[in-house]
A and B are shown apart, each in its own frame.
Chain A
Amino acid sequence: MPPHVHVHPDGTSLRDPSRLFYQSDSIRRLIIASYWLFIIAAIPLWWHITSIERLSLPTARVHAQAANHLRFPVQIQLENVQDSSISTSLQKLLDDRIHKSHGLDVQVRQQSDPTNPSDSYVIRAAEGVPSANERSLTYPVRPATLPNLADLLTLLLAPPIDAHRVAQYSPRYRLAFTLLNEDAAAGGAISGWDISGAISRHLSPILTALSVLHNFTIESQVQFHAPLAFSPTPIQDGSYGLTQEDLTVFVNSAEWSLSSSVSNDPVLHFIVFVPSASRRPLKILDSNGLPSTSNAFLLPQWGGMVIYNPPTQDTNSNTNANAPLPPSALHSLFSTFATQLLSLLGVPNLPGDLQTTTDALTGWQLDALLRRRTSENARGAYDTLQSIVKLVDQIENMPVGQDVRGDVLDSLSALEEMYTPSPSSPSSTPPSLTTTLHHSSTALTLASRAFFSPKMLALLYFPAEHKYAVYSPLFASATIPLAAAAIREVVAWRKGRREREGAGGGQ
C-alpha cells in the first residue's frame, strides 16, 4: 500500500491531506506563478503611466548657435568726390572706429561704381551745414574734415544706447493717452482734446515709419478727478513746485486707472496732467530748488508725462468755465510726446548739429534701431533656447511635450535662416534688414512661447523619503508574502525532487 494512504478503522481509505486536490502542489504553484506573472506583466504599464513625457530637444543645434554672430553689411557711397584717395582714407578711419562689437561691415565706395545696391547710404559732398535726409548725408567732404565725418558716421551707424530707458521689444504695443484733471470740481478744468487730430498730425508719421517693427494700438481717455498722493510745495512767487523725489512718486497708480487691461501687450503711457485750479501753476523744480523750464518728464520703460498749466483767465470771464485744450498747447504737448515716444522705443537721436528735413525719422535712425533690435532679439532667442535646454536638463520632473519641441525646432530654424539664408533666395543680394528683423522676432516669439508653455510645469518635487514612504506599505505588504510563498514552494519542490531521486535511487 502506498505510504500516503491511511486506512481508517471502518475501512474507508483516507488520503494524505497534502495529496488532496485542493492542496495539490502543481495547482498551488500555478496559482503563485500566476500572481507573479500578473505583477511582471503590469510593470511596463506602471512604468508607462508614471513616467513623464520628455521628448528630446536638439541640444547640439542650440549650442552650435553660440558661434553665430550677426554681421550687418553697410555700404556707403560717396558722391561729388573727385579725389579717389578720400574713400580709402575714410574707410580706414571708419575701420578704426567701428570695431567688431558693433557687428557692422562698413564699405566705402566711389559714386561711379555701378554695382552699388539700392539700399546703400549716400554721402554728398557739398559745402554748408551738414544735413541728413532718409539715407543720405550732405557734408563738406575734404581731407581735413574726414575725421569729423568718420565720427559722425559712427554716431549715425552705431549710436550709443541707453538700455535702461528703452522698453523691451515686443511685436505689439499699446499706446495709452490720458488727459488727467487733478480736480475738475475746483473749476477751470480741461474738458477735452482733439486727440485724433493730434495723433494724426504728430504721431502718425512716426508710427507709420515704425510699423515695420511694431504693431501699435492706441487708446485715449479723459479723466476729471485724479488726485495726487502728496502735496506740492508752494514756492514764493505763488506757484507750486515738484521736487525730484515728488516726481518719483507722482504717478498715483492706486487711484488713477491709466490703461485698460484687455490684452497682454506692453503699454506705454502718455499723460497730460492739469493741476487743480487752487494749485496752479505747477512747476518742476531742479536739484537746486529753482523752477526748471521743462514741464515734462519720462519714466523709463513706462511712459511720459507733461504738466500743462492752463493760462490764467482774466477776472472778467467766468473762472469756473471748463474749456477744451487749445490747439497751440496741443501742438507743443504732442511734440513732447513724439520725442518721448521716440526715446522710449529706442530710436536714437541724430547727433547734435545735424539738421534734417525728414518728417519723422531718417533712414539712418530707423536702420540703427532695426539693427539693434535684431541683435537683441537674436541674443534673446538664443538665451531662451539655452535656458530651456538647461532647465530641462536640470529639473528631471519637467515634461517636454510635442508642441514645446516643435516651437524649439521652429525657433532654431528661424535663427539659422537669419544667419545663413536658404539657397532659394538669390545669393547676390543680402537679405534686407526687415526680413532679418522678422526672422529674429519670430525666433524670439517662438522661443518664449516654448519656454512659457503651460504644459512644461515641473511636477512637484517628491523627496526620496516620500516616495519610499508611499510605495513601501503598498508594494511591500503585497509582494513580501508572495515572495515568501514563492521561495517556500521552490524549496519544497527541490526537497521533493531530492527525496524522489533518493527514493528512486534507493530502490
Chain B
Amino acid sequence: MFSRLLLLFLFSWTWGTLAATPSHEQIVGDFFNKNGASGGSTSNHTNNWAVLVCSSRYWFNYRHMANALGMYRTVKRLGIPDSNIILMLADDAACNARNRFPGSVYANPGRGLDLYGDNIEVDYRGYEVTVENFIRVLTGRMEPSVPRSKRLLSDASSNIFVYMTGHGGNEFLKFQDNEEISAFDIADAFEQMWQKKRYNEIFFMIDTCQANTMYSKFYSPNILATGSSKLDQNSYSYENDNDLGISVIDRFTHYVLEFMERINKTSHESMADLFAYYDPVKIHSDPGVRSDLFRRPLSEVRITDFLGGVAQVEVGEGVPVDTAAVGEDQWPLQGESPAVPPVLPVAENTQERVGDLGGGWRGMRAWGGVLLIGGLVGWVGFRS
C-alpha cells in the first residue's frame, strides 16, 4: 500500500514538472488577451453562485462568522447578487448578548469595517445550519415548500464558489458542535451535482484545522480546491480585538481577503496570483491547492470567474451575424494548452476513495481484532 502511494506521488510530481514551462505562443497570446475586452478569460460560464458556510456557533467562534461575512462582503462587492449567494451562519454574533458593539461584526482588530451592515441577507441561520441542509442545498433535493432564496438554482453554465469555515479535522468538519460532515459526503454531493449538470466549475475554499484533507476525496471534474492547512496542522487565528475580547478573524482568510481588496470587478488577476500570494510563514500553516481535477491552467483562471458576477455581453439589437460570431470567439476551447502548475506544492494526487479491496481488507482487519480480543477473554474465562 505504501509503495503504491509513493509510486503515485513520484509519477504525479514528474508529470507536473515536465509540463511546467508555458510555450512562447501562449505568453504572447496572454499578453494580447489581457488587453482585450472580455476575451482574456477562457471560462464559458454565464452566471455565478456562492455558498458560504460558517459551521460553528458560540461567542468564542466569532472569528468563523467574521470569516464568512468577510467573504460575503467581497463576493457581493465583486458583483454576485444576493439572489445568487447562499450564506449560512450557525450563530448570530452581531446580536449576541456578549457583543459590546451590538449589531456589528468586525474582522480586524481596530474595528475599522463593519461587516454586518444594512444590506446583508443570511439565508440559513442558527440551527438551520446542519449537515443535512448543506447537502440539500448542494444537491438541490429540497421540499417543494423551501423558498427561492434558500435554493441553489445553478445550471450547467454556473461557476460556484464554496467557502467553508469552522472547526475541523482529518477529513471532517464539525457542524454546530454536535455533528460532522466528512470529506466523502462533500465529494458525493459534488458528484451528484456533476451528474445533474448543476455546475460548470467549482472553486472550493476551506479554512479549518487540517483543511487540506477535506478536499482530498473529490472525484468529479472541474473542481479547484484550496485549504488553509495540511494534515496534522492547525490553522490559527489572526489577532484579538481588545474590546471585544476574542479573535476576530483567521489568518488564512485574513490574507485571502487582503489579496481580494486589490481586486475589483474588472481585474484580470488570476488564481495563480492568489496562490502565489500565500505565505506559509505569515499564515503559520501550509495552505494547499488541488487542481488536478481542473482542466484550465490556473494562470488563465480569473478570480472574478468565481468570486465576481461578470457576464458575457452581446451588443446590438437584432444581433447581426458578425457580432454573434465575435461572441462565440470569446469562448475558445483551449484543451491543448500545457498546464502551468502554481508555485506551491500541488496536493497529493489522491484517487477516488480506496477501492472495495482496500475497504474489505480494513474491515477484515477490524473484525479480526475483535475476534482476537473475544478469544483472549474467552480463554481467560475458561481457565480455571
Q: Contact residues of A with B, CB < 8 Å?
A: 162, 164-165, 168, 229-230, 243-251, 253-254, 261-264, 284, 286-287, 292, 294-302, 306, 335-336, 339-340, 343, 383-384, 387, 390-391, 394-395, 451-458, 460-461, 463-465, 468, 472, 476, 480-481, 483-484, 487-488
Contact = CB atoms under 8 A, between A and B. Distances in A.
Scoring A340, A452, A488 by chain B CB atoms within 10 A of each residue's CB, the highest score goes to A452
B153 A249 contact: no
A390 B192 CA distance: 10
B318 A339 contact: yes
Contacts of B266: 245-246, 248-249
A56 to B, nearest CB: 20
A298 B313 contact: yes
Given A302-B47, A457-B135, A262 B148 contact: yes
Interface stretch (B224-232, B280-288, B360-368): B360-368
A464 B148 contact: no
A387 B139 contact: no
Interface stretch (B3-11, B55-63, B106-114, B180-188): B180-188
Interface in B114-171: 119, 131-132, 135-136, 139-143, 147-149, 151, 153, 155, 157
A496 B297 CA distance: 80
Nearest to A286: B315
Contacts of A249: 79, 265-266, 309-310
Given A162-B324, A248-B38, A264-B151, A296 B317 contact: yes
B80 interface: yes
Nearest to A457: B141
A254 B196 contact: no
Interface stretch (B97-105, B206-214, B244-252, B375-383): B375-383
26 contacts: A164-B312, A164-B331, A248-B313, A250-B313, A254-B76, A261-B83, A262-B148, A292-B316, A296-B315, A296-B316, A296-B317, A299-B311, A300-B312, A300-B314, A302-B47, A302-B311, A387-B196, A391-B192, A395-B188, A452-B196, A458-B185, A460-B185, A461-B184, A483-B374, A484-B381, A484-B382
Given A339-B319, A383-B197, 7 more contacts: A162-B327, A164-B331, A229-B79, A244-B38, A246-B266, A297-B314, A298-B314
Scoring B83, B315, B381 by chain A CB atoms within 10 A of each residue's CB, the highest score goes to B315
B317 A336 contact: yes
B375 to A, nearest CB: 9
A384 B194 CA distance: 11
A480 B313 contact: no
A300 B46 contact: yes
B79 A254 contact: yes
Contacts, number: 176
Contacts of A306: 317
Given A452-B140, A465-B366, A244 B317 contact: no
Given A464-B362, A476-B374, A297 B316 contact: yes
B37 A244 contact: yes
Contacts of A250: 313
Contacts of A229: 79, 265
Contact of A488 (B141, B143, B382): B382
A487 B378 contact: yes
A130 B196 CA distance: 45
A264 B319 contact: no
Contacts of B131: 460
Contacts of B382: 484, 487-488
Given A245-B266, A299-B312, A254 B82 contact: yes
A483 B38 CA distance: 74
A284 B37 CA distance: 14
A391 B310 contact: no
A451 B265 CA distance: 36
A340 B327 CA distance: 15
B328 interface: yes
B195 interface: yes
Nearest to B144: A454
B184 to A, nearest CB: 4
Nearest to B359: A464
A468 B76 CA distance: 46
Contacts of B367: 468
A472 B370 contact: yes
B132 A297 contact: no
Contact of A245 (B37, B44, B151): B37
Interface string B68-106: 000000001101111110000000000000000000000
B143 A483 contact: no
B331 A461 contact: no
A425 B174 CA distance: 59
Contacts of B314: 165, 297-300
B333 interface: no
A292 B315 CA distance: 9
Interface string B290-333: 00000000000000000001111111111100001001100100
A98 to B, nearest CB: 21
The 6 closest A-B pairs by CB, nearest first: A253-B81, A244-B37, A387-B195, A461-B184, A249-B265, A296-B317
B374 to A, nearest CB: 5
Interface of B: 37-38, 44, 46-47, 76-77, 79-84, 119, 131-132, 135-136, 139-143, 147-149, 151, 153, 155, 157, 181-182, 184-185, 188, 191-192, 195-197, 265-266, 309-319, 324, 327-328, 331, 359, 362-363, 366-367, 370, 373-374, 377-378, 381-382
Scoring A248, A298, A336, A455 by chain B CB atoms within 10 A of each residue's CB, the highest score goes to A248
Contact of B313 (A244, A264, A387, A458): A244
A178 to B, nearest CB: 14
A297 B313 contact: yes
A390 B220 CA distance: 14
A164 B44 contact: yes
A133 B139 CA distance: 46
A454 B136 contact: yes
Contacts of B83: 253, 261
A465 B316 CA distance: 62
A267 to B, nearest CB: 9
Contacts of B142: 452, 454
B311 A461 contact: no
A336 B312 CA distance: 19
B71 to A, nearest CB: 15
B328 A451 contact: no
Contacts of A335: 317
Contacts of A246: 266
Contacts of A484: 377-378, 381-382
Contacts of A451: 196
A464 B367 CA distance: 10
Given A229-B265, A476-B370, A483-B378, A247 B313 contact: yes
Given A454-B142, A457-B139, A248 B310 contact: yes
B188 A458 contact: yes
B148 to A, nearest CB: 4
Contacts of B374: 476, 480, 483
A462 B187 CA distance: 14
B328 A164 contact: yes
Given A164-B328, A468-B366, A248 B312 contact: yes
Contacts of A300: 46, 311-312, 314
A162 B182 CA distance: 41
A284 B153 CA distance: 32
A368 to B, nearest CB: 17
Contact of A254 (B44, B81, B181, B197): B81
A282 B81 CA distance: 24
Scoring A162, A295, A300 by chain B CB atoms within 10 A of each residue's CB, the highest score goes to A300
B370 A294 contact: no
A482 to B, nearest CB: 11
A372 to B, nearest CB: 17
B370 A261 contact: no
